[in-house]
Structures are given as C-alpha cells and as structure tokens.
Amino acid sequence: MIESHSQLATYNFAYLDEQTKRMIRRAILKAIAIPGYQVPFASREMPMPYGWGTGGVQVTAAVIGPNDTLKVIDQGADDTTNAVSIRAFFQKVSNVQVTTKTTEATIIQTRHRIPETALQAGQTLVYQVPIPEPLRFLEPRETETRKMHALEEYGLMHVKLYEDIARHGRIATTYAYPVKVEGRYVMDPSPTPKFDNPKMHQSPALQLFGAGREKRIYAIPPYTEVVSLDFEDHPFEIQTFSEPCALCGAKGSYLDEVILDDKGGSMFVCSDTDFCEDRQAEGHRGHLSANPAQAAVNPAEAAE
C-alpha cells in the first residue's frame, strides 16, 4: 500500500528524484522515436507494490507538471481502489489537478482500458503494463526475443494465433491482443480488451507504456498506424455485445457484467464509468435505469 503523507512530504515533486526523472525522460524520447520498441530503463522502487502499476506511475511522475490535470482509471472506472490510490498519490506528491472527466484530462493513467470518449491532440495516455514482451510466452529468454524483434521474426506469433483458429474456429485471444506498430514492431497493448485495439490506431493522443517490474518503456506517437495481427480468412474482429448498456443505453461501448442477485440475475453496463455517467446526465436511459443509482453505486449490496 501507499505510504503516509508525512513520509512522502520529504520527497521531490512527483516523488522521483531529478536524476531518475532525467533517465526516464531520455527513455521516453527514444520510445517515441522508435514506435513500439521496448526501451530498457532502470525502474525504481515506488511506495506501492509492483502489481499496482509502478511502471505507469514512474512514467506519469517523469512527465507530469503543475499545469496538468490527471485522470486515473482501472478497468474503465475512476473509483476502484487502485485508481483512487494512484490519484491520491499524485495529488500528494505533485499537487496537480485531478479529474474523472476524460475530456478535461491532460494525462490519463490507465490499467486495462482506453476511454470510450475519443482522445484529443495534446492528451497523453499512460498505460500500466505488467508484461511488455508480446513474444514472452513463446520464448522466455530476453536475448532471444530481442533477436526476434531485431530480425522481425514474428512467424511464431502468427502460428500461435492460428492455433486458436484451429482449436476454436476463431482467434480466441481477447486481451493483450498483439498489434504491429507502423509496420515494424509487434507490440503488446497491455491487458486491454481487444475491443480497444482500434482506438490505438491513428489516435491524436500520445500513448506511453510503462512496465515497472520488467523495466521497459514503449510508446505510440500520435497519428501512428497500429494494426491488430490477423489473417486474410480470419480478419481481426472486436467483441460485440448483444444488448446495449442497461444504465445509459449505449450501443458500441465495452460492457462489464454486474451481478444483481443470487439467482443469476445480472446486467451489462459500460466499463467506462465517466462515459456512462455523462450519457445518463445527458438524459440517455437503459432498460434498467429506473433505479440506476442503486445498481451503479453499489452492485455488491444489490447482490445480497
């Protein structure tokens, strides 16, 4: 967990010392210059465990300044423990403005989702990445995966996807679905649902990826080609949902299943809470929105 305010108070702006920031900043500039390539960096200990997104936190800390407005999301939501803790951390160590509104943020740190609202030029999306190497499950040795990237040896990756087709009749990979960036590097988009892959392509926003435990930073500049790997006879497809959001009626947003009772009752609602709340505020209604506040605010209680 995160250390107390009094312990943090003696640290530099944005927690990291200036030399660490310089090292991370140099890595970020190289990452932008070589889209999709994983730049090694000397990851620092942060006052939170690795699973909490220390890579993303270090990238944000090296980038953030007093004029920024920060949004932090976890699985699309601003109010989960992980998102709340990271947001509170940056409020303490950098005193920046924070927001839950996608449109107001200059920096959005994310675990596992890209906001539904289209990002704009000048915004930076920082991903918390657990495993940056898309070839790792094929080849555990770093020296070998590095060679494979150097030689553009991506045949094994295609074989793995094709095995899915042989087994399931389709590509079954739904998270961390590999992409090719600007026709060169195969890249892991982090465990976002493949639903979000098309949002990475030609995005006006800068996308930065930080993996703390694995000590890698990579990037997709704005207006860059990002293509999900696929086959001519089995083209890439995103998930579709059979019904609209139960609260805001949105069609075409990414939905999470929320359990309503112990008899198997459930509803599907937008995983992007800011997007869903905005739509409800605009008067959009879903089929369960008669009592949206109770269901949305405390689904666990509703399940009892």
Interaction between residue 57 and Zn ion (CB under 5 A): no
- Which residues are registered as beta bridge partners of 108? 71, 125
**E strands present in 80-184:** 97-98, 107-111, 124-128, 179-181
Please confirm, yes or no, whether 36 is among the known catalytic residues: yes
Cα-based angle 183, 199, 193 (whole degrees, multiple of 5): 100
> b or e along 33-70 (b: 16 or more beta carbons within 10 Å of the residue's beta carbon)?
eebbbbbebebbebbbeeebbbbbbbbbbbbbeeebbb
Please confirm, yes or no, whether 212 is among the known catalytic residues: no
Please confirm, yes or no, whether 249 is among the known catalytic residues: no
- Interaction residues for other proteins, span 63-92 (CB under 8 A): 63-66
Active-site residue, from 210, 245, 249, 286: 245
Interaction between residue 96 and Zn ion (CB under 5 A): no
Nearer to Zn ion, 28 or 248 (CB): 248
Judged by CB under 8 A, which stretch of 21-29, 125-133, 253-261, 279-287 contacts other proteins? 21-29
Please confirm, yes or no, whether 248 is among the known catalytic residues: yes
Interaction between residue 21 and other proteins (CB under 8 A): yes
Nearer to other proteins, 134 or 244 (CB): 134
Minimum distance, C-beta of residue 185 to other proteins, in the bound complex (Å): 7
Interaction between residue 184 and other proteins (CB under 8 A): yes
- Which residues are registered as beta bridge partners of 111? 74
DSSP states along 2-54: PPPHHHHTTSBTTBS-HHHHHHHHHHHHHHHHSTT--EE--PPP-SS-GGGTH
Site string for other proteins, 25-64 (x = CB under 8 A): xxxxxxxxxxx-x-xx---------------------xxx
Task: Using CB under 5 A, pick the residue from 217, 276, 295, 296 that binds Zn ion.
Answer: 276
**E strands present in 112-189:** 124-128, 179-181, 185-187
Active-site residue, from 53, 56, 270, 286: 270
Please confirm, yes or no, whether 51 is among the known catalytic residues: no
What are the φ/ψ torsions at residue 46 (nearest 5 degrees)? Answer: -120, 160
Nearer to Zn ion, 31 or 267 (CB): 267
Interaction between residue 22 and other proteins (CB under 8 A): yes
CA distances to 73, 77, 117, 143, 300 from 101, in Å: 11, 11, 10, 42, 25
Minimum distance, C-beta of residue 248 to other proteins, in the bound complex (Å): 31
- Interaction residues for Zn ion, span 237-266 (CB under 5 A): 245, 247-248, 250
Judged by CB under 8 A, which stretch of 96-104, 112-120, 142-150, 294-302 contacts other proteins? 142-150
Interaction between residue 185 and other proteins (CB under 8 A): yes
Calculate the CA 26 to chain-centre distance. 22
Q: In terms of residues, how long is the chain?
A: 304
The dihedral built from the CA positions of residue 19, 188, 250 and 269, taken in this order, carries a sign that is: negative
CB-CB contact of 48 with 54 (8 Å): yes
Interaction between residue 222 and other proteins (CB under 8 A): yes
Interaction between residue 270 and Zn ion (CB under 5 A): yes
Minimum distance, C-beta of residue 62 to other proteins, in the bound complex (Å): 8
Minimum distance, C-beta of residue 193 to other proteins, in the bound complex (Å): 25
In the complex, which residues of this chain contact Zn ion (CB under 5 A)? 245, 247-248, 250, 270, 276
Catalytic annotation, residues: 36, 245, 248, 270, 276
